[in-house]
Structure 1
Amino acid sequence: MAAAIMSVPAVDRLTSAAGAATRPARALRIGQLLTLSGPLGSVGLDLQKGFVTYVRQNASRLGGRKIQFFVEDDAGDPRTALQKAERLVSEREVDVVTGVVLSNVAIALRDFFHSAKVPLIISNAAADELTRGESSPYIFRAAYTNYMIGASMGRWFYRNIAKNNVFTAAPNYSAGQEIVAGFITAFERAGGKIGGRVFPPFGTVSDYQPFLSQIQGERPSAVFAFFPGAEAIRFVRQYSEFGLKRTIPLHGAFITDPAPVLNAQGSAAQGIGSSAVWAAELQNQRNARFLATYERLYGKGEPSTFAATGHNAAQLLDVALRSIKGDTSNQARFLRALKNVGTFQTPSGIFTLDPKTQNPIRNFYLRQARFEDGKWQNKLLSLLGSFRDPGR
């Protein structure tokens, strides 16, 4: 088992217990393929924590079966991911694989899982094409597509921030391009007009001054932005330091999440609105239980939205398994069960898996960065609506 599993003590205990499964029903073998090292290692860890939280809520079983985890770190590299996926399927003989943080990794894995005929439940990677032209009957999503992330802010932006001459800013890679495209589609559908776009190179920019100068020179009404992780920290800070925040409102998608990003942004993030698929303040029994179990396992500290989607992935798998009484011996039946999980309540609200796209139909929420109760928080403001990917 990969050494990365040691980073989550709850997984170690769960694996040991699951390994004790006895005949006739062997433990369900679950592969987790995650980015657990490098700049986005925290995302993979949060996905893992969310998944384990759900399993712990259900007596360390899914679909009534004991489970055994096999965790692999893809290090955010497509080639490494392919090697680790082959190990999970060929050596570990897993029944299903979950996880995948990055879109380029998910794209690289598509043909492997399609050929191996092993179900893959993606917990985060949001490449549009895996729900469209490159979809596969073996690939399911528990989170969203990039289109959905961007589209969730389009109508709200038009109604509440600006109607014309809106700029977009995102790193120049597939996720950035697709999220911006989703935003523009929804914004223009609402009646808005885009003024321009900036796409800084992904992963190599430490000084955004040339791009901020371009925005300043064009004098847009507002800016919609998406940047992940450390890039979100730098962009939001420099946007404020450059003086743009005082005159050109900045809002976006996932740019103040998770908590370590917001804490590092500090006062530069004050008032920024951002979309998300989960919020701690959501009032439902599933969310209350999720928060309580997460705190019991990992201590105080609010889960991230990534932990919530990891939880969604585990619940999707559990719902499917329960419908077939945990029996995965007939793979065609198992795939039909995954495809037809239907609608169920999650900590994030109502979750529906579209059987045509094998992609969620789900709520997105507007949160705003604020300093309250002595700490920076993304506070829930409103429901943005329910969103789906259009598919092919």
Structure 2
Amino acid sequence: MSRDMGDASKNRSSDTTTNRRRFLKSVTVSAGAVSLGGCAGQVGSGGGGEGPIRIGTLYDNSGPLGFVGKGKDAATEMWLEQQDYELLGREVEWIDYNPGGDNTEYKNLTRKLIQQDDVDMILGALLSSNREALRPIVDENKQLFSYNDWYEGGVCDEFMVINTTLTSQQRPLIDFMVENFGSDYYALVADYNYGRVSNRYARHYAGENGAEPVNEEFIPLETSEFGSTINRIREEDPDWILSLLVGSAQYSFFKQAESSGLDLPYGSLANIAGTYEHVSFDPPVMADTYSCFSYFQEIPTETNREFVEAFQERNPAYTKEEGGYVFLSIADAWNAIRFYWNAVEQAGTVDQEAVLAEYENGLEMDSPKGPVTFNGETHHATQNMWLAKVNDDHSISFLDMDGNETEEPIAENVETSEWFRNQCNLVENSSWDEPQTDYLTPDEGDLS
């Protein structure tokens, strides 16, 4: 995913403090500065032994998505400090590099974490392009890796464990919009892999409800002027708009639509939970937007309230008073480090193959999102989905399928798509020594 929120990247300052537990914080290493000749460690071994357990992270702390990586680092740090940087009675060293959104840096720093730093686990990557740049290195070195930022789905890889929202898990939004607003919709789609694949799922789910797009407009990421698009929407007169708009340029659509008097509900697969436009834009720009994700700061459970309070107390930049928000990627990073912790504790070792076996046994935990279960066959999380409505004052209400306010998720224990589950069974068809390492996307008609 690509999410550029401009000044939001100022939410947390770079911290270069070094101590015995946490070091190399927010270091950006240039592509030419990393020399790995003769440094290869034992493949897939990590630190092992009785020394420190080493956890590496690759979250952008600068560049367009710096605000996302800083939030993920803050969540990771909060968990490690709560555990006093200790696991299995051993000291934990956190090695955190800042790739700055550059795919060459992602490759170099992945090699460095594996071959020089000899880490036991890596967590990171934001965009799908970041993940795909480093994945061959992870696979070649048999390195356990946690990817935990919302994406279109499709990674079926022995060495990847994934806990985040997938487009296929957002189906309740399409069902809700068709049932409550009508069968004719206008699709605004960011013209790159995430947008195109997500739109494929949306079109399929709409079709199963007897709905179809009156138009699908594929929009280049740099587009920021939408006058002609707004005119076309008026001409088509849809019941609602499907938003797969991504990035600060495309988000200008909402302000222009509101200024023009366009008055249609939005069903968004890409806004609010991860990019918090209801906080960063003045009301009523995002009013009557409906968004379906596994996490929103406003989820009305005691577990989430405690998490938000603790996180904001440590990180005031994420409070409403400072224009901040505890967004989806923060909760995903929190769950990712906790999943790893639980797997290591159950395995009684940081041996990566043994740790992965615990993931595949079906880890379960309560979380700010609600209950989350790791699906061993697909290496993805099964989780609840919440349907949020943005009100006129930009507050959030959660709804059931009939549009009534609720304090419950709209769908519980949502898995990956049936198509993906039929294609990806890593327990049966893959092993540490003979791994499956695919990226699967459905072609037209595959979802039927």
> TM-score, normalized by length of structure 2?
0.75
Distance 1:217 1:371, change over 3 A: closer
Q: What is the CA distance between 1:26 and its match in structure 2? A: 2.2
Distance 1:51 1:379, change over 3 A: farther
Deviates further, 277-286 or 217-226: 277-286
Whether the 8 Å contact between 2:399 and 2:410 is mirrored in structure 1 is: no
For the residues of structure 2 that align with 1:98 and 1:273, how far apart are their CA atoms?
30
Match of residue 385 from structure 2: 364
Match of residue 253 from structure 2: 235
Whether the 8 Å contact between 1:167 and 1:220 is mirrored in structure 2 is: yes
Partner amino acid, structure 2, of 1:183: A
For the residues of structure 2 that align with 1:232 and 1:206, how far apart are their CA atoms?
5
Deviates further, 40-49 or 54-63: 54-63
Match of residue 161 from structure 1: 181
Q: Deviations over 1:358-380 (max 9, x none)?
A: 011111111222365xxx44443
Alignment of 1:254-293 (within 5 A): 254-258=270-274, 261-266=277-282, 267-293=284-310
**Which segments of 5 or more consecutive residues in structure 1 lack a partner in the other structure?**
none
Partner amino acid, structure 2, of 1:253: L
Whether the 8 Å contact between 2:265 and 2:290 is mirrored in structure 1 is: no
Instruction: Determine if the alignment matches structure 1 residue 385 to structure 2 residue 411.
Output: yes
Partner amino acid, structure 2, of 1:322: E
Selected match of 1:44 from 69, 87, 112:
69
Q: What is the CA distance between 1:285 and its match in structure 2? A: 4.4
Instruction: Determine if the alignment matches structure 1 residue 106 to structure 2 residue 122.
Output: no
For the residues of structure 2 that align with 1:237 and 1:18, how far apart are their CA atoms?
42
Whether the 8 Å contact between 1:228 and 1:254 is mirrored in structure 2 is: yes
Whether the 8 Å contact between 2:165 and 2:293 is mirrored in structure 1 is: no
For the residues of structure 2 that align with 1:237 and 1:229, how far apart are their CA atoms?
14
Q: What is the CA distance between 1:147 and its match in structure 2? A: 3.0
Match of residue 115 from structure 1: 140
Whether the 8 Å contact between 1:147 and 1:181 is mirrored in structure 2 is: no
Q: What is the CA distance between 1:72 and its match in structure 2? A: 1.8
For the residues of structure 1 that align with 2:274 and 2:352, how far apart are their CA atoms?
37
Distance 1:260 1:286, change over 3 A: closer
Distance 1:8 1:79, change over 3 A: closer
For the residues of structure 1 that align with 2:14 and 2:342, how far apart are their CA atoms?
24
For the residues of structure 1 that align with 2:74 and 2:250, how far apart are their CA atoms?
23
Q: What is the CA distance between 1:65 and its match in structure 2? A: 4.1
Q: What is the CA distance between 1:215 and its match in structure 2? A: 2.0
Secondary structure (helix, strand or coil) at the match of 1:364 reads strand
Whether the 8 Å contact between 1:31 and 1:71 is mirrored in structure 2 is: yes
Q: Root-mean-square deviation (CA), in Å?
A: 2.6
Secondary structure (helix, strand or coil) at the match of 2:219 reads coil
Alignment of 1:1-392 (within 5 A): 7=13, 12=17, 16-17=20-21, 25-62=50-87, 65-130=90-155, 135-149=156-170, 151-162=171-182, 164-202=183-221, 204-231=222-249, 233-244=251-262, 246=263, 248-258=264-274, 261-266=277-282, 267-299=284-316, 301=319, 302-325=325-348, 327-328=349-350, 330-370=351-391, 376-382=394-400, 383-386=409-412, 387-390=414-417, 391=420, 392=423
Q: What is the CA distance between 1:124 and its match in structure 2? A: 0.2
> TM-score, normalized by length of structure 1?
0.85
For the residues of structure 1 that align with 2:357 and 2:49, how far apart are their CA atoms?
24
Partner amino acid, structure 2, of 1:104: S
Q: Percent identity over the alignment?
A: 17
For the residues of structure 2 that align with 1:136 and 1:277, how far apart are their CA atoms?
22
Secondary structure (helix, strand or coil) at the match of 1:111 reads helix
Q: What is the CA distance between 1:96 and its match in structure 2? A: 0.8
Whether the 8 Å contact between 2:388 and 2:397 is mirrored in structure 1 is: yes
Whether the 8 Å contact between 2:265 and 2:288 is mirrored in structure 1 is: no
For the residues of structure 2 that align with 1:353 and 1:141, how far apart are their CA atoms?
8
- Count of matched residue positions in the alignment of Structure 1 and Structure 2: 369
Distance 1:63 1:362, change over 3 A: farther
Q: Deviations over 1:203-237 (max 9, x none)?
A: x1121223222222222111110223414531211
- The structure that is helix-richer by fraction is 1
Q: What is the CA distance between 1:166 and its match in structure 2? A: 1.1
Secondary structure (helix, strand or coil) at the match of 2:187 reads strand
Distance 1:304 1:148, change over 3 A: same
Distance 1:12 1:365, change over 3 A: farther
Partner amino acid, structure 2, of 1:185: H
Q: What is the CA distance between 1:8 and its match in structure 2? A: 5.9
Distance 1:307 1:256, change over 3 A: same
Q: What is the CA distance between 1:16 and its match in structure 2? A: 3.6
For the residues of structure 2 that align with 1:264 and 1:189, how far apart are their CA atoms?
35
For the residues of structure 2 that align with 1:160 and 1:7, how far apart are their CA atoms?
44
Whether the 8 Å contact between 1:364 and 1:385 is mirrored in structure 2 is: yes
Q: What is the CA distance between 1:110 and its match in structure 2? A: 1.8
Match of residue 403 from structure 2: none
Partner amino acid, structure 2, of 1:359: H
Distance 1:389 1:24, change over 3 A: closer
For the residues of structure 1 that align with 2:306 and 2:14, how far apart are their CA atoms?
20
Q: Deviations over 1:76-130 (max 9, x none)?
A: 2322211121111112111111021101111222211111111110110524231
**Which segments of 5 or more consecutive residues in structure 2 lack a partner in the other structure?**
1-9, 24-47, 320-324, 401-408, 424-448
Deviation beyond 6 Å, 4+ runs, structure 1: none
